[in-house]
């Protein structure tokens, strides 16, 4: 099964309110449509994680980010444009996101998956995903086709170590989700969490995790 077929199958599950196990540019994650409150609740249930904790979301690009936050500070645009490593930005005010996917203060952490230069657009045209695409390219295309932000939380029970690779994912997690992306699409994930930067509407920047 090629990458496009896998992505289309995963998107179908997500649109039906399902939860998937999939590779990101950092680690293997559990995800769902971030606008679906019931699906988000299932993610917390699978991870055995308190709903009081907010979740990181993935967006395909800044245009998608702008649709789901009330304002994108200019400093965030600058950070995205110069970034070459996985980076999650915490935006002040989320909108149209499931309430249980955002922080108590209304802020939301969103990351645009890191994609190698060779997988970026060529001559203004996006390259179609291939079976050897990196994990970052795979998950960005997944989010693009979903057309909504995707929940991205590490594929582990809360309090346990995040999986370094597919083989480290507990069977309890694999059996609890509705769709599992084949392990071969996880090539190129860095195996560690992203940096986290909080931005303010006035240009304030706070490094939460370097």
Q: Domain count of the chain?
A: 1
Distance CA 26, CA 187 (A): 11
pLDDT digits (tens, 9 = 90+) for 25-51: 999 999 999 999 999 999 999 999 887
CATH number of the structural domain spanning residue 23: 3.90.870.10
The whole domain housing 71 covers 3-209
Distance CA 189, CA 195 (A): 15
Structure tokens at 103: 């922080």
Nearest to 146 by CA among 1, 45, 2, 20: 20
Q: Is 191 left (phi over 0), alpha (psi -120 to 50) or beta?
A: left
Min mean pLDDT across 6-20, 124-138, 183-197 is at: 124-138
Long-range contacts of 115-124 (CB under 8 A, 24+ apart): 115/25, 115/140, 116/188
Residue spans of alpha helices (H) in the chain: 3-15, 37-47, 62-68, 74-82, 135-146, 171-176
What pLDDT does 124 receive?
A: 39
Q: Are 185 and 37 in contact (CB under 8 A)?
A: no
- Predicted confidence (pLDDT) at residue 149 exceeds the cutoff of 90: yes
Summary mean pLDDT of the chain: 89
Residue 23 neighbours by CB distance under 10 Å? 27
User: What's the predicted TM-score (pTM) here?
Assistant: 0.91
């Amino acid at each position: 099964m090629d990458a496009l077929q896998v992505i289309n199958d995963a998107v179908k599950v997500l649109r039906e309110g399902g939860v998937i196990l999939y590779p990101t540019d950092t680690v293997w994650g559990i995800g769902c449509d971030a606008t679906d409150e019931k699906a988000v609740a299932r993610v917390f249930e699978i991870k055995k994680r308190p709903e009081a904790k907010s979740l990181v979301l993935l967006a395909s690009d800044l245009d998608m980010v702008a649709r789901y936050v009330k304002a994108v500070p200019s400093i965030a645009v600058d950070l995205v444009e110069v970034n070459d490593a996985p980076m999650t930005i915490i935006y002040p005010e989320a909108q149209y996101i499931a309430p249980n996917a955002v922080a108590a203060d209304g802020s939301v952490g969103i990351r645009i998956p890191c994609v190698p230069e060779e997988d970026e657009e060529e001559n203004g045209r996006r390259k179609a995903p291939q079976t050897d695409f990196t994990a970052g390219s795979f998950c960005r295309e997944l989010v693009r086709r979903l057309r909504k932000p995707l929940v991205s939380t590490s594929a582990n029970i809360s309090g346990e170590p995040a999986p370094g690779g597919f083989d480290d994912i507990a069977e309890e997690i694999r059996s609890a989700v509705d769709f599992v992306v084949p392990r071969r699409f996880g090539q190129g994930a860095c195996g560690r969490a992203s940096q986290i930067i909080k931005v303010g509407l006035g240009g304030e920047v706070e490094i939460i995790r370097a």
